[in-house]
Amino acid sequence: MGIRTHVRNDRGSMSIGLVIVLPILMLALGASAQYFVKADAERTAESAAEEGAAAARRFDGSAEAGQSQAYDFLHSVDNASLENVQVSATRSGTEASVTVTGTAESLGWLPFLDRDISETSTGPVERYTTD
């Protein structure tokens, strides 16, 4: 009696592994790219809101001036990662606020990811006081 050895045939196992791993890898790569596009759009919206709020907070500022300044900032940076932009501004006797809303650019093949953006900057209105 001889010793019988059984040799396992591994043919095709690399292809099956690739079919399983490659879609997961592509999804992770796409999700991280969309995350960075959204982060860029959020930073742009935040900067525009801050610029607008600074204009609205000035002693001689207004809500309209804040809204206009935010739109001017957005046009000056020409950022394509922020779409469908809307700017709203309010100013009371003590506080000014500017909100920039929009959506981050879609990379197209991951439509289920959240792309909504809303950034607000609020601060006290400048005023002269006597001591």
- In this prediction, what percent of the chain has a pLDDT beyond 70? 87
d(CA 130, CA 40): 43
Cβ 96 vs Cβ 65: under 8 Å: no
**Cα→Cα distances 10→5, 7, 28, 51, 67, Å:** 16, 9, 28, 63, 66
Phi, psi of 82 (to 5 degrees): -115, 120
d(CA 25, CA 50): 38
Residue 43 CB burial class (10 angstroms; 0-12, 13-18, ≥19)? middle
Confidence band of 11 (pLDDT split at 50, 70, 90): low
Q: Which residue carries 């006797």 as its tokens?
A: 93
Q: Which domain holds residue 24?
A: 13-124
Using only C-alpha atoms, the chain has a radius of gyration, in whole angstroms, of: 26
Q: Classify residue 36: in a domain, yes or no.
A: yes
pLDDT single digits (tens) 84-100 = 999 999 999 899 999 99
| Counted domains in the chain | 1
Q: Classify residue 72: in a domain, yes or no.
A: yes
pTM over 0.75: yes
Q: Classify residue 7: in a domain, yes or no.
A: no
pLDDT single digits (tens) 59-93 = 999 999 999 999 999 999 977 889 999 999 999 98
Q: Classify residue 4: in a domain, yes or no.
A: no
Q: Classify residue 55: in a domain, yes or no.
A: yes
Q: Is the dihedral of CA 46, 48, 51, 52 positive or negative?
A: negative
